[in-house]
A and B are shown apart, each in its own frame.
Chain A
Amino acid sequence: MVDTAEAEHDELSPARSAMIYLVLLVLTVATYSLSRLHLGTWTLVIAMLIAIVKASLVALFFMQLWYHRGSVRLAIAIAVLWLFLLMFFVVADVKTRYPLANPTANPMLVGPSGP
């Protein structure tokens, strides 16, 4: 049962890809200008949201995920999920660890270059 072969015709048309290209450029400039506003913790959230939108645009249309069903989507979805899994547990460990077991509690750590 080979995955459903997608029809030839509904591949990415040049017009649509040009339009997506422009959207990506606009988003790049937008993320740069928004970051200059220094909104504190919000800068990270906004920058990440824009990055996720750009990345999914590239993945879905430029990399034709939009037109291929099944296992290819699963493969990259699991890889991205594992990325967040690793980041979640590493940061959770640092946040919930015994506070003095963190690198910041290093008595010798005076300057950037250590003792």
Chain B
Amino acid sequence: MLPESHVQEHFANMEVQRQAARLGMWAFLGTEVLLFAGLFAAYAEYRSLFHETFVLSSRHLDAIMATVETAVLITGSFAVVMAHHYARSSRSGMTCLSLLVAVGTGLAFLALHGIEYVHHFEEGALPGKYYHFPEIQTAGASMFFSLYFLMTGLHSLHVIAGAGVLAWLAWRASSGEFSRGNYNAVEMGGLYWHLVDVIWIFLFPLLYLI
């Protein structure tokens, strides 16, 4: 039985609608990449200018916790891939569950990251004029932490947005809305979550490992 058509009236068929949604989403992901491009350019410049301070400050960050955060986000990505698979095979119960797992990983990431921020607030490694961290006094240290807070802060905002989208999708999946004929929304939400993961895959080495 063909599910009642979710095709919006101005599209020829479901396949065109899915292709349109996919292209629109990828164009939007392109804008997200370029949004972070400005910050990566700033990082590249200040890293080439204050090389020693950046290496010193990055060594001060907690790389182990960052590795755990990366693993958590990748697990989230995997959960979303499974959700997409279940949605396509009309198992809405499993779709809702894996989406919730993905939201859980997102919240775990934010919690770990919050701990890091609190740690930095305590020791005074803050951006710009708030910087009063005694250990590193060379030029450009406040610049590293300005970039650190800007990049991870903007990324965390995107994690919050992504988790919100996935939670909304999970709620819709719980009412059995997604099926073989109509799983576009899960795919689009998944694409956004994967991009958030890809951005962190680059932030992690740049900030923590060098």
Bound together: yes
Interface of A is mostly: helix
Interface pair B19/A2, CB less than 8 Å apart: yes
Interface pair A87/B82, CB less than 8 Å apart: no
The answer to whether A98 has its CB under 8 Å from any CB of chain B is: no
Interface pair A104/B49, CB less than 8 Å apart: yes
Contacting residues, chain A, for B164 (C-beta < 8 A): none
The docked-state distance in angstroms from the alpha carbon of A68 to that of B45 is 36
Most interface-central of A3, A17, A18, A62 (chain B CB within 10 A): A62
The answer to whether B16 has its CB under 8 Å from any CB of chain A is: yes
Interface code B100-137, partner A: CB below 8 Å = 1, 0 otherwise? Answer: 00000000000000000000000000000101110011
Contacting residues, chain B, for A18 (C-beta < 8 A): 78
The docked-state distance in angstroms from the alpha carbon of A72 to that of B21 is 11
The docked-state distance in angstroms from the alpha carbon of A32 to that of B64 is 8
> B30: which of A36, A62, A75 is its contact (CB, 8 Å)?
A75
26 cross-chain CB contacts under 8 A: A24-B74, A24-B77, A32-B63, A32-B67, A44-B210, A51-B205, A55-B198, A58-B201, A63-B190, A68-B22, A75-B30, A78-B30, A79-B30, A79-B34, A90-B42, A91-B45, A94-B48, A94-B49, A103-B46, A103-B49, A104-B50, A109-B139, A111-B139, A112-B131, A112-B137, A113-B129
